[in-house]
A and B are shown apart, each in its own frame.
Chain A
Amino acid sequence: MKIVIGKDAVLSGLQMVHGVVNVRPTLPVLSNVLLQAEADKLWMTTTDLEVSVRCLVDAKVGKAGGTTLPARRLLGIVRELPVENIDIDVDDKNNAVISCGSAYFKILGLPQDDFPAIAGYQGGSTFTLEQRVLKDMLQKTFYAASTDETRFILNGTLLSFKGNKLTVVATDGRRLALAEQELEFPKESEVDAIIPTKAVNEILRMLKDEGTVKVHVTKNQAGFEVENMVLTTKLIEGTYPNFRQVIPAQCEHRIAVERESLLTALRRVALLTSEKSSSVRLTFGKSKLKISASSPDVGEAHESVAIKYNGKEMTVAFNPEYIMEPLKNLANDEIYVEMTDELSPGVIKSDVPFIYVLMPMRIS
């Protein structure tokens, strides 16, 4: 294999695919990136056997062929090279010579046959939607997924294509984030897919603001295709719980809050929470929301934010991280907080169909 490739092309490609590579993979070849050169194109592929990413970049191909090279090392080298064309020349023994100007590197690769085959998809359903939309929906929800491995079914984000709607949901048992979007597709392609969190992170990296993404869902895997990239992931097997039961029917008070000022106030007050008392109290009073935190061995803090509220005073305690996360990931200026009483779940909503249910902590 012999190619000449621009630094920017190879760098952007590697940056797209290297996230999948585990630091300590089970097989040595999994720390490598598969390079396949053919007719002015270079395919770069990485996998951890669960998630695989393929990226296509332009290259001048002198001699077609393929090899695998250590992904992180290659990325490190390319990143430091001057902005020029890079020559990559690989011999039969998978020794790659990378030269650029007067810089010369020789790195040892592994044969491409050792690289696990990436399964294609058969059957299943296909959906096409705007990259921007999917990115936005995932961004607003994925952080709520559980990291508790005993609840493996919650260790991912649900994409539910049902009733001409795409619903994206993640929950960890204390909070739940949900985003919805109208989407046209035939009734028979209705399907649920639970995407592991690692794959979601990679998808977010891959999606841009322009163009469309094709989503294929089969029984046990899903594929996401954009212009020059394909991501394939195994699905988390099982039935996602009935998340609708978590969403309260209606709340007594709906309070409009400025997102940015609530977030910054929370950030400041949360500085005075400690491991022992990791909660902030939100006291809703007349036209004023008071945020306070105190821990016996640290001190206390409080700050007020102006709100439109006229009901009875109530105090609810939340985990500050859990309430800040949706605020960070939303873009609207104004959001709505819906409350009922101190033991009922709180709900955060925005103009677009987005719901975040958060269980209060008990005030002792």
Chain B
Amino acid sequence: MIANDAMTVWRPACEHLKKLLHPDVYLRWIEVIEPKRLENDTLTLAVDNNFYQTWLEENYLPLIQTAVATVCGENLKIVFAVGRKSVGSPVAEKSAPAHVEKPVKAAPRRTPSDVILNPKCTFDEFIVGASNNMAHAASLAVAQSPGRAYNPLFIYGGTGLGKTHLMQAIGHHVLRNSNARICYVTSETFINEFIESIQHNSFVQFRRKYRSVDLLLIDDIHFLTGKERMQEEFFHTFNALYDAHKQIVMTSDRPASEIQGLEQRLVSRFEWGLVTELQQPDLETRIAILRNKQKQGGLTLSDEILFFLAKSIRSNIRRLEGALIRLTSYTSLVNRPVTLADAENLLRDTLDQEKQEALTFEQIIKTTADHYDLRLVDMTSKRRPAAITMPRQVAMYLCRNLTPASLPEIACAFGKTHATILHACRIVEKKMETDSNLRQDVSHLFKVLEKKS
């Protein structure tokens, strides 16, 4: 059936190309192509090997595109695939010309069944730790009962912390356990398709595509900022899906309220369901991640090395994996186990970067002082009016929590003793339990500082 549609487009396109191209070229490059399927405005053409694909893409793609557009009246995306005769029975293909009268437009626009999900991104592969167990639990709940648990689910967190992984895991889980129609797109793809639909006046298709899914996964939603028409379209899509009790999952690199240039009505909708944050993993989680990666790759590095990696790379899981790969490839190259010295040497640029990114006391003190509108000298002075003491204690608390520094080190930066710092941390922690203003201040400062790191 699918092959038929492809055939109905491809045949006349071939005729068109035949007129245009020299017979030698036609026989060599066009005749050998086999139409495979037509779905979602994408025409897949099968060729024998990579080289056909390379040569056709480089040299004949625009020609083919124009020819196809001329015969069917709309711009289809042309994709080459290697390996022919894998889809559809040959009989069906042969009988295809009999159905030429069937209009191309009527081709069943199936839902995006070819969802491109990374097979590695499943719940099994996701290492749960204190920093991400909330997000993980929420995602799992959504995956188990899409549309009913939390709708929409909004996951945010810094780069390389597993947003996309969680989102795709939901997709995998739902795909495996039901025949729900799933659509996973990055917001960039969403935007591009929207623009294309404006160009080709195919709004209806665009809407049908996105409003007929059971689970919509949109990655990196913050790219919608500043695109007003896009936001409006997304607003309607969102409402349509929400009203039909379809699940929506979004990821972003910051909370919805902090995405600048996002309309208020969208922000409020994003915060409607469950908002969950992915934080930087703690040491234990990082070690667990490394162990897991190592198991998958069938690799062996000593615990000492893993600990070193986990300890020195804190900000980003991708970077952690990169470092692991670098070490293991080194092992296989030199055929001997990596020593700690090797590791330090191999990873020196990554480590340098990590160090640079680490927060300094000055940054923390300055940010806190700015936040409370105090002078920098007040932060380290000996004066103790309440208006200064509290911010000073907050700064100490932040230093304690955001840097790996020891109490005496922090004490030195403030010109105090370590007992003062310890006291400050305890006071702040205690007060935060009761004082919501303080809680807000601290969490705001956390966010600001984390962005700086």
Q: Which residues of A contact B (CB under 8 A)?
A: 26-28, 49, 116, 151, 153-154, 173-174, 241-243, 245-246, 248-250, 340-341, 343-345, 359, 362
Ordered by A's residue number, 17 sampled pairs between the chains whose C-beta atoms are within 8 Å are: A26-B346, A27-B333, A116-B334, A173-B54, A174-B58, A174-B59, A243-B51, A248-B24, A248-B28, A340-B24, A340-B25, A341-B22, A343-B20, A343-B21, A343-B25, A344-B22, A359-B58
Residues of B close to A174: CB separation below 8 A: 58-59
CA distance A245 to B49 in the complex (A): 12
Residues of B close to A362: CB separation below 8 A: 62-63
Cross-chain contact B333 with A173 (CB below 8 angstroms)? no
Instruction: For residue B225, give the distance in angstroms from its CB to the closest CB of chain A.
Output: 30
B339 at the interface (CB under 8 A from A): no
B205 at the interface (CB under 8 A from A): no
Residues of B close to A116: CB separation below 8 A: 334
Residues of A close to B25: CB separation below 8 A: 248, 340, 343-345
Cross-chain contact A241 with B49 (CB below 8 angstroms)? yes
Known contacts A173-B58, A173-B59, A246-B55, A153 near B50 by CB under 8 Å: yes
Residues of B close to A242: CB separation below 8 A: 49, 51
B126 at the interface (CB under 8 A from A): no
B235 at the interface (CB under 8 A from A): no
CA distance A27 to B335 in the complex (A): 13
Instruction: For residue B62, give the distance in angstroms from its CB to the closest CB of chain A.
Output: 6
Residues of B23-46 whose CB lies within 8 A of A: 24-25, 28
Taking A248-B25, A344-B24 as known contacts, 10 extra A-B pairs with beta carbons closer than 8 A to each other, sorted by chain A number, are A27-B333, A28-B345, A116-B334, A151-B54, A173-B58, A243-B51, A245-B28, A250-B24, A340-B25, A343-B25
Q: Mark B1-29, 1 if CB is under 8 A from A, else 0.
A: 00000000000000000001110110010
B330 at the interface (CB under 8 A from A): yes
Kindly identify which residue among A27, A154, A249, A340 contacts B54, using a CB–CB cutoff of 8 Å: A154
CA distance A250 to B22 in the complex (A): 11
Instruction: For residue B43, give the distance in angstroms from its CB to the closest CB of chain A.
Output: 20
Main secondary structure of the interface of A (DSSP, over half): loop
CA distance A154 to B334 in the complex (A): 28
Give the top 4 A-B pairs by smallest Cβ distance, nearest first: A241-B51, A173-B58, A173-B54, A344-B22
Cross-chain contact B50 with A241 (CB below 8 angstroms)? yes
Q: Which residue of B lies closest to A28 (CB)?
A: B345
Residues of B close to A26: CB separation below 8 A: 330, 333, 346
Residues of A close to B51: CB separation below 8 A: 241-243, 245
Cross-chain contact A27 with B334 (CB below 8 angstroms)? yes
Q: Which residue of A lies closest to B54 (CB)?
A: A173
Instruction: For residue B435, give the distance in angstroms from its CB to the closest CB of chain A.
Output: 53
Instruction: For residue B202, give the distance in angstroms from its CB to the closest CB of chain A.
Output: 25
Which of A28, A154, A174, A344 is packed against the most chain B CB atoms within 10 Å? A344
CA distance A173 to B54 in the complex (A): 6
Cross-chain contact A49 with B333 (CB below 8 angstroms)? yes
Q: Which residue of B lies closest to A29 (CB)?
A: B334
Residues of A close to B49: CB separation below 8 A: 241-242
Residues of B close to A49: CB separation below 8 A: 333
Cross-chain contact A340 with B59 (CB below 8 angstroms)? no
Q: Mark B319-345, 1 if CB is under 8 A from A, else 0.
A: 000000000001001100000000001
Residues of A close to B59: CB separation below 8 A: 173-174, 359
Residues of B211-258 whose CB lies within 8 A of A: none
Known contacts A154-B54, A241-B51, A242-B51, A340 near B22 by CB under 8 Å: yes
Residues of B close to A345: CB separation below 8 A: 25
